[in-house]
Structure 1
Amino acid sequence: MADIEVTSTCEEGYTVESVINGEWELVVDALSNDGPSANEVLAADYASCYIPAFRVAADKHGYDDVGNIEVDVEADLDEDDDLVSIAFDMSVEEDLGDDEQDIVELGEDICHVHSALREELHADIAIESGV
């Protein structure tokens, strides 16, 4: 048995309904009419994976609770609707001082989505802590 099992169904048009591990439902629509597009889901998934990875990285640097983390994601598409860039603008409640960049980089190493993307699509991360 695989670690992740997904059944995706498209009855017509461009809307795909997926059931993940027999439990979670996700609707993705290439036209963004009935749900987010695959690129929109990828951008949200990247941030959703990076935030917990960032928390683990901060913990490894001695910050046991960094408080609220908010990530605004911007992704750019080319004329073929292929992702060409992703940027994260992060706000972190705890002041991380001189450890900010080290925590960002360790978070990248821990994030599974970051590891899965080709290098030119790795997020350009700007961080402001102590907000």
Structure 2
Amino acid sequence: MTDIQTSTVSDEGFASTSQVGDFNLAIDALDEAGPNPNATLVATYASCFLPAFRVGGQKTGFDDLGKIQIDADAVLDDADDLVEISFDVYVERALSDEEFAEITALAEDICHVHDAIRDGLQADVTVVGGAF
């Protein structure tokens, strides 16, 4: 049994719509009908890391970090593959560098996307022709 199911459809071209639960997400390799897959992955990573950072704060005794903003940057190689992702995390509450380092380490352990972005995690692909 799976824990997450999505359905992604493209009638033509390079744009697709993914149904994720009750939500539809437009993704377009050409950045015309929505963000491209790499940009979506980077945004998803930041969207996972931010609440993990809040939980890391709670676990270290800082229940109210205030507003948090993550500006993410990514570098692509010549084949448009992601080779580097960096986050600048802006936190309303002022803490020491050591306290932020501890919260960051916890966030890295908590964020499921951080854990998933590793060598060897790739989809097991089965193709069914004549399906429609």
Query: How high is the TM-score relative to the length of structure 2?
Result: 0.86
Q: Which residue pairs with 1:122 in the alignment? A: none
Q: Which residue pairs with 1:59 in the alignment? A: 58
Count of residues in Structure 1 that have an aligned counterpart in Structure 2: 118
Return the structure number with greater strand share. 1
Deviations 1:69-123 (A, max 9, x none): 011100000010000000001110111213110110110000000000027xxxx
Kindly provide the amino acid, as one letter, of the partner of residue 106 in structure 1: L
Counterpart-to-counterpart distance in 2, 1:68 and 1:50: 14
Counterpart-to-counterpart distance in 2, 1:16 and 1:96: 43
Counterpart-to-counterpart distance in 2, 1:95 and 1:13: 48
Counterpart-to-counterpart distance in 1, 2:72 and 2:100: 18
Is structure 2 residue 88 aligned with structure 1 residue 89?
yes
Kindly provide the amino acid, as one letter, of the partner of residue 112 in structure 2: H
Greater than 2 Å deviation, 4+ residue runs: none
SS of residue matched to 1:34:
coil
Q: Which residue pairs with 1:33 in the alignment? A: 32
Q: Which residue pairs with 2:79 in the alignment? A: 80
Give identity over the alignment, percent: 47
Q: Which residue pairs with 1:70 in the alignment? A: 69
The RMSD of aligned alpha carbons is: 1.0
Q: Which residue pairs with 1:110 in the alignment? A: 110
SS of residue matched to 1:94:
coil
Deviations 1:29-59 (A, max 9, x none): 0011110000000010000000000000000
Question: 1:111-130, aligned counterparts within 5 Å?
Answer: 111-118=111-118
Kindly provide the amino acid, as one letter, of the partner of residue 105 in structure 1: A
Kindly provide the amino acid, as one letter, of the partner of residue 70 in structure 1: Q
Counterpart-to-counterpart distance in 2, 1:84 and 1:115: 16
Runs (5+) with no aligned partner, structure 2: 120-132
SS of residue matched to 2:63:
coil
